[in-house]
Each structure stands twice: as structure tokens, then as C-alpha cells.
A and B are shown apart, each in its own frame.
Chain A
Amino acid sequence: MNKEPWHNRHGFFSFLIGFKREFKRGLNYFNGMKPCHSIALIVMTSLSMAVTAQDLVEVKNVSAPPSDILSGRLRLPEPSASPTTAWTALLPFDQALTRFRTGEGKSAVALIAEDPFAWSFELDLIDQSGTAPKSAFLEQSATLEQLTTGASARVIRVDPKLLDQDVMINVVPPSSSAKAWMLVSDGREDVRLSTYVGSMQRLRNNPVILHAAVENARIIDSQCTVRGPSGSSLSLSFLQLDERTASAMFTPDRVGDWTIHSLFSVRDDDGGIRQRSTQQVIRVIDRTLSFAPQDLEITQSEAGGALLLEVPVMIQPSGELDGIRRVALAAEVWGRDADGVSVPVCWVSRIHELSREGGSSALELSIDPRWLALASVEASSLEFRELRVHDTDGFVLIDHRSVARPELDGSILIPRDVPRATADMMASRSDSMVTGRSTPGLSSVGGHVLLLSHGYCTDQFPFRLSDFSGDYELYEDYSQNRTNDEFALGYEAFGRNFKSMGIVGHSQAGHAATHLYTFYWSALDWATGGTRIQGVGVPWLGTSLAGNAAVLGDIFGIGCGVLYDLTYDGSTAWLSFIPSWVRAETDFWTTSFEDGFFYDYCQIITDLLLTDPDDGTVERYAGQLDGGNNRGHKEGWCHTRLMRDPPQCKDASRNVILDAEAAR
């Protein structure tokens, strides 16, 4: 456990000023203090000024222009658009083929076990002479801290010059009960398996359909192992639809994360038999609410003021063990212009906290009438498309309606002469609160700062602080598994100590920062003078490591647990709530290994699970934020420490830019 305080002050404001402010804040918050049950509060016992309160946070009425609808950025993607794709096989050692033929790509075999060196493990080259030259193979050990905490690996790489050679895998366990998995990469990167779950709506006791397709090969055999949150597993059979596609189905009976391991044997176009597997995790939820059949209703509280859309819902009562339940509601607003043509007006969204009692209720969305003026539509022509509600924990779809038409309650006055969309139309006050996280007590507060943040489940701060000379703060919440929403609310609580803050975040911190800026009012809104959000190595489109870690974690243990938000599905669903105006204030940077002439990688195991180029965790393509500001890709830097090239957050040349260009 790191003994450092949750955050360290590096600004110039005096302790006295901080004391005054903290004392006053302490008085203000006194009535709202809750029992000390949060992690943050436990860590804060080391602070001299442990004044805390779990406060309420005001959510934004979020809007986006019609161009965001037309571009499709804010539409829930089809699951098939973000499949999990593999050109390797990760499987129990006793299910692996004992031989493979090398291809043009990276050929390697990894033995993953609690103590892999207790195993007899070697590769043999079956050439015409029957003997393998020593130089054909290179063995090395590898840690697996991004995937599992209970195992390490021995990796044997095959000389890439050895094309179309048959390689024998020889594995002998130290005992009959010993367990190990193998990761086999045969170098045929064109032979791929892609799998995806057919719906973004994953509800308990509702069937989940898994689709699979192979490229440049034909299916010989397939199997699927599904493991539920209780640890129980079931084997499924894929129904083969044709030579290259198959489907399987199961019905999850528990809420939580389910891992899916799909293993295919295929015959490539040259007749060779190969194995491919994908590892996925899906989050299954209860249907906490459903859209009620009643009509939507639009009212306008004052002439020319915001239109209030009330969406009738039926909320399930909260179970005794359930925590706070938040959902994100969104809809496309369409109307008809003077010619009767249907045109997009705007997109609206807001986070809601559900009552524990449940029952009939209505969730609100706010529509600035200036959007109607800009689109030249009357309120009577409005209709709502892609009305959807997601759980903020993983952004799993809860309910969806393709089209809904509202009833107007009273007359609606739309302002005229609106020349253009303005910033205040993108986010407005809602006066609606959700439960936040505890406010950390600081020894000094106020001022305008840059928040430097680590990402998911780390025990060390990634950035080199000596590269930052401006006013900055460290956000330290080590070894935690936070959803994007929880992470963002942590920033919000931290930000209450400051007038304003910009954020430079590593990895998941990029998600958290954009999530905060999109959904909640915070000190981030007040940041000026530079770039509001800067992300380094952020898996905007997710990473396959989340699924791989979940599957391996089931076997060997996983340190921080599964983070569904960082899966391809979770990330793309979440990203469909992030408007262009947020993306436009986000700079992002990607890196990858130094690409030389031989077998290059950042982390030798994850390299076999990711599509090159990657930084050991994030594939370059998945590190792109559509609509964000791409600040470039740099080779020779990896995601974190203990990788082949230095960690990307130690890059001084980038850090000084992050520092200089940050809004504060």
C-alpha cells in the first residue's frame, strides 16, 4: 500500500489561506457528513486536515448539434462494429495443438502458469533433417501484471526467418494437477477469429447471442466456455452457420461480469490446421428501469425557456445490497422544417440517479429552444429517435426505443433570430443532483491547477513530475478498479478544492476526464488558458486486454478485478455519449514500440493479444478519439514500466508540452 497522501500540493498558495478556506468549508459541509466508509476517507487519515463530506454533484443538461447526429458519433454502435479479433490462441495447455506451421508474422508460444519454470517446456523445429538449429528459438520470461497477478510466463520466440516450418510444442507438467495456459502465435496473422455479442443490451435472464467469424480459414471445430460471476462455468456449442461463421447462445442467470472464451480450430487456405481464440467479458445487469408505454411530454416552464421532455419510466425497486444506481439517458431530437422534411435538431442527454423505492416515474431531458430555431422546426413536429438509457456502470444498454413522439403540454415559444449555436447551448444547468464522492481535505486549496492522473489499477504514479513546472496536483487513487463514472466523480470531489483544473491523464484517466466534462459540473469547466483535457495512451475504443485479463483472471487471479468500461463494447458504448464539443477540447497522444527489423513489441505477451502497432496495452487504432485532437504517434515508448521501451509518461519532451499547453 502506498503511504503517500492521496494528493500532494505543489502550488504556491499558503497554508493559512488554505486553513481559512478549509475551516469555512468544514462548517458548510458539516451537516452533510456521512459515516467514514469510503476508500478515499481511509487514505485521508494521513492528512492534517481531514475535513470530508460526501457531496451532491450537479449534472449537466448535455446537448450536441445536429452534425453529431449526422456523423453517427452519438449513435450506439452496432456490436458487430467493435468485435474482439484475435490471430492467436490462448487456451489450456492440454487443449493446444502440439504442432503448428510458421507464417510470416510473429511466431511464439508462451506458457502461462503459477510457476512456469517448474514445467518442461520447449519447441522443436521439424525440418527435413529432423533437428532444429539452436538459433531458431529464443526463450525469455515475462511478467503478466496487466493480465493476471497469479501467474507469469515463459515465452519462446521463433526466428522470423523460419517461414513455413513445422514447430513441435513439448510441454510436460510438473504434476498431474498443475494447470497452465498457453498462448500460441503461429505467425499467420491473416487468419483471424472475430467474435461479438449480438446486442448491447445484456440483461439477466435474457439470452445472449455470440457471433463468430473467421477470416482466411474454414471452421473445423469450435467451443465456447462461459464463466459467470459466481465462478461457475458452462460449455457451449457453436452452431456453425457456414464455413466461416458460427453462433452460440446462453442465458446469464446472474448479474455481473461474464467471461467468454471462444476457441476455434480452423483450416487455413493452405490446408494447415490452426487454433484461434478470443477472450471477452460482458457485463450483465438487471433491467433497473424500462420505458413506460405512456407518451412523452414536453412542457415549457417559461416563455422562451428550455423545453422539458419527460420520459415516463418504470423503475425497479433497489435491492438491499444495491448501491447508488445511476443511468444515462439520451435521445436524438428531430423535427420537420417548413417543407415538411425531417431534419435533426439536436442531441440531448443527462445522467439521473434512480430512487431506491422504484415505481412509476419520469426522467427528464432538457432541450434549448434555440436548437429548434436553428433547425427552423416547430415544437409540434418534434420526435425523438434513438431514445436510450444506459447504466453508467459500464454503459450497458438498459432500454431503447427507436422513435417516440411527444405530447405538447401548453404552448411552446421558440425564440427567433438565433444566428448560431453557442457554447451555452451545449451544456446547461439542471439543478438535478446525484451522489458524489467524498471531498478530500487538503492542506491548501484554491487556485487554478493542472490535475495529473494515473489510470486504471496502478501502484505508481506514471508521470515524471520534474517535467512539470506549473501549478499541478496529483490524483492518487492507487490500485483501484473504478468505472469511468466513479473515476470522474473522484475528480469532481478533488476539484472542489480548487477554483479550476485542467486534466492530464494517462490511460483510463482520459475516459474519466471526458466523462466528467460531459456529464457533471466541476472545476474542470472553469479551466482556461489552454487545453482542457490531455490524454496519453488512452484506450478510447477499448482494449482487448480487458477481456483477456478477465479470462486469465478467472484462472490465476486478477489484482484489481475486471473493468468492463475498458472493453471494446464498454468503451464504444460510453463513447457514444461523448459529444464533439467535449472531444474538441481533448488532445490525445499515442505511442508504440520501436519498430526495427526483428520481433518488436512493448510487452511480449500482450503483443500477441493486440494488433500492431501497440504500446503494450493500447492498440494505435484504439487510441484514436474521433473528433479529438490527435497530437501524434511516437515510437519507442510503451504504456507503462516493465515494458521493453520506456514508459510513455516519462517522455520529457511530451511532458513539457502537456505542462505548457494545459488549461488550468
Chain B
Amino acid sequence: MKSIVNQFAVPLFLACATSCITTNSDADSYRFEVNESASIPDGTGSIRSIPFEVALSGSPDLIVTGIELELDVLHPWIGDLLVTLRSPSGITSVLLDRNGQVPLGFPGPFGCGGDDISVTLTENAATAVDEVCSITSTPVLVGPLRPHQSLATHFGSEPDGIWFIDLQDVQSGDSGTFVSAALLLEIEEDCDGDGIPDGCICAGDLNDDSIIDGSDLAGLLSSWGRSGGSADLDGDGSVGGGDLTILLAGWGSCL
């Protein structure tokens, strides 16, 4: 059971960001949008924070397993911008860092002077934001792009709470406006609290080689009748028939 407490949210089926999640049908996706434009203080370095309140009630054991961020900003010199995603637990990832700012060569020491951003920041994009700058294209950042820092740093964290996009304009002279953003979270359960989605756990893969085969069966049989341990797959305190049933049910590749 899931509830979404921001302005509105739409479950999506996003491409997953980890190999485990790629085949995990247990992941649910949520979209949180902010559509109220806001000015970004010019050149002061002051932060314009855009909040996304996330409250997925019903389970305390949800973790983030995928993130995308759609961002629309009007700004005549995007190289002024420092944009950071901040999770409720305080984890931050820098999405844009004065794009194109290089001491030598193009675009120049003041970064990319292109206009506007209309981008989907995703780990799956082939091109990173730092690789893009154009004098002639508007918006200069458009389509799917990889952020400056990986969004995977948020994977495994709890989704509930207030997420922020922090926008800073660090060079005076050109001012911009935040237009809209959408935070797309992919959520899964993590009942054992190990930071790995439960759906990723491959019960019966005792030797962690991502395949349940004779080696795992041998391991289970060698522990037969003993109490606890990794072979106690059903958690009843001893290795027995119930555990064997689980192992055989998952026979084959975990992926």
C-alpha cells in the first residue's frame, strides 16, 4: 500500500538503475512535481530550495532504488548554476556544477553561456551534463543527461521526508527562474534493513554466485539438521525440508 503526499504523484514504470532492480517487478515508481516558478537569487550564492514532500505511508521499510529528475530552468547563462539534490536523510548529490566552467578553452572560465535547461537527469543517459554546451542551441541542456554526480548515492536511503532541489546562482549579471521539476523515485521494500531491496535477495544462493545450483544444494545438505546459519532459509531455527523446498523453488539463475 502506498500513498503519495506531494502535489500529485503518478506511478511509473521506470527503467531501473541496478542490475538487481532491472528484473525486479516489485519496484514501484512515483512522480512528484513542482510547477510553481521561483526566481533564483542572482550571483549571491543564496540557495533557492525547491521542496518535494514524500510520504509513502504503510510501510516503514521502503528504500529508494532509482531516481530521475526532470528540471526546467530559464537562465541566460547556465554556467552560473549550481544545482544539488538533497534527500531527507541529508545525502546530497550535485546535479549541475557551473556547467562548462573550464579555465582553458571552450566554453571559458565562466562556464557555459547557453540559455535554459529542460533536462531529465538520469543515470541511464549516454551523455553527461558536463559534456554539453552549445552557443546556438536553446535550451542548451535538453533531453536525458547524466548529472554531474551520480544519483546512485541516494539508492538505499529512505524516501519519506522532504527532498530538496537546491539552486544557486554563483555569478552575478544574469538571473534565472526555476520553472518546474519532477522527482521520480523508484521504491522497493527492504524488510531486513540491509539497504538491499528484498526482491534482490536470491534465497538459496548460499555461495553468492548468483546462481542456485548443486553447490548451494551441497551446502544446504552439509548443514542439514543444524540450527540457524545461512542455510536456514525459512528462518525456523534449523535447516530442514522447508529450506530445501525454498532452494529448489529458486533453482537456476538469480537474475
Contact = CB atoms under 8 A, between A and B. Distances in A.
Given A17-B43, A423-B135, A499-B113, A446 B171 contact: yes
A446 B106 contact: no
Contacts of A522: 108
A33 to B, nearest CB: 12
A284 B40 CA distance: 58
A526 B173 contact: no
B172 A446 contact: yes
A446 B101 CA distance: 13
B104 A526 contact: no
Contacts of B214: none
B174 interface: yes
B110 interface: yes
Contacts of B79: 499
A448 B174 CA distance: 9
Contacts of A29: 103
Main secondary structure of the interface of A (DSSP, over half): mixed
B173 A13 contact: yes
A21 B107 CA distance: 17
B173 A55 contact: no
B178 interface: no
B105 interface: yes
Nearest to B172: A17
B173 A499 contact: yes
A357 interface: no
A351 to B, nearest CB: 14
A446 B110 contact: yes
Interface in A55-81: 55-58
B172 A526 contact: no
Given A29-B103, A56-B104, A447-B172, A496 B109 contact: yes
Contacts of B108: 496, 499, 521-523, 526
Contacts of B109: 25, 28, 496
A58 B174 contact: no
Main secondary structure of the interface of B (DSSP, over half): loop
Interface residues of A, number: 30
A58 B104 contact: yes
Contacts of A13: 172-173
Nearest to A25: B109
Contacts of B43: 17
Contact of A58 (B105, B110, B173): B105
A429 interface: yes
Interface string A474-504: 0000000000000000000000101110000
A500 B107 CA distance: 11
A525 interface: yes
Contact of A56 (B105, B113, B134, B174): B105
Contact of B77 (A56, A57, A433, A499): A499
Nearest to A447: B173
Interface string B95-130: 000000001111111100100000000000000000
Contacts of A58: 104-106
Nearest to B170: A20
A448 B173 contact: yes
Contacts of B110: 446, 498-499
A422 B172 contact: no
Nearest to A426: B136
Interface in A332-390: none
A302 interface: no
B113 A526 contact: yes
Contacts of A417: none
A424 interface: yes
A599 B121 CA distance: 72
A149 B171 CA distance: 47
Contacts of B77: 499
A409 interface: no
Nearest to A527: B113
A66 B109 CA distance: 34
Contacts of A498: 110
A447 B77 CA distance: 10
A447 B113 CA distance: 11
A500 B106 contact: no
Nearest to A56: B104
Contacts of A433: 104-105
8 contacts: A13-B173, A14-B172, A25-B103, A56-B105, A433-B105, A496-B108, A499-B113, A499-B173
